[in-house]
């Protein structure tokens, strides 16, 4: 018997990456590399710093994230991100849109 492993489609992941980042940062303030590790542990091993850091920068420039530098004992200061009030509002909007999309797609692809 051959078992096919589902692979993450990079274009789909890029579309939902802002929601994933906002979700993780909504749980707790965090710095970039830690967010990458959390995403990889959650089943997105192909997400690397070169993808995540620019997305965090975009969210920050869109005024959804605040950041602060925190000294590190083992290297340069780390930039910690937190979801601000505007970001929390946007996160709720995006989650609602995501749930609506999934609800409409699933019946078409054989899901419930």
Residue 87 has pLDDT above 60, yes or no: yes
- Alpha-carbon distance of 100 to 107, in angstroms, equals 12
| Residues linked to residue 78 through DSSP beta bridges, in sequence order | 70
Question: In this structure, is residue 72 part of a structural domain?
Answer: yes
> Looking at the 3D structure of the chain, how many domains does it have?
1
Kindly state the percentage of the chain with pLDDT values over 70. Answer: 92
Range of the domain at 101: 16-106
Structure tokens at 35: 């967010």
Decide: helix, strand or coil at residue 47: coil
Within a domain: 63: yes
In this predicted model, which residue has the larger pLDDT, 14 or 84? 84
Q: CB of 83 within 8 A of CB of 63?
A: no
- pTM for this structure? 0.87
Residue 15 pLDDT greater than 80, yes or no = yes
Give tens-digit pLDDT for 22-40.
999 999 999 999 999 999 9
């Amino acid at each position: 018997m051959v078992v096919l492993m589902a692979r993450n489609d990079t274009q789909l992941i890029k579309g939902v990456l802002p929601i994933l980042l906002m979700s993780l940062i909504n749980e707790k303030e965090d710095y970039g590399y830690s967010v990458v590790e959390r995403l990889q542990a959650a089943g997105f091993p192909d997400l690397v710093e070169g993808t995540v850091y620019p997305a965090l920068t975009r969210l920050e420039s869109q005024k959804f994230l605040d950041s602060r530098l925190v000294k590190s004992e083992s290297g340069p200061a780390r930039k910690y991100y937190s979801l601000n009030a505007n970001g929390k509002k946007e996160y709720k909007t995006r989650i609602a849109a995501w749930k609506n999309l999934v609800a409409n797609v699933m019946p078409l692809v054989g899901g419930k």
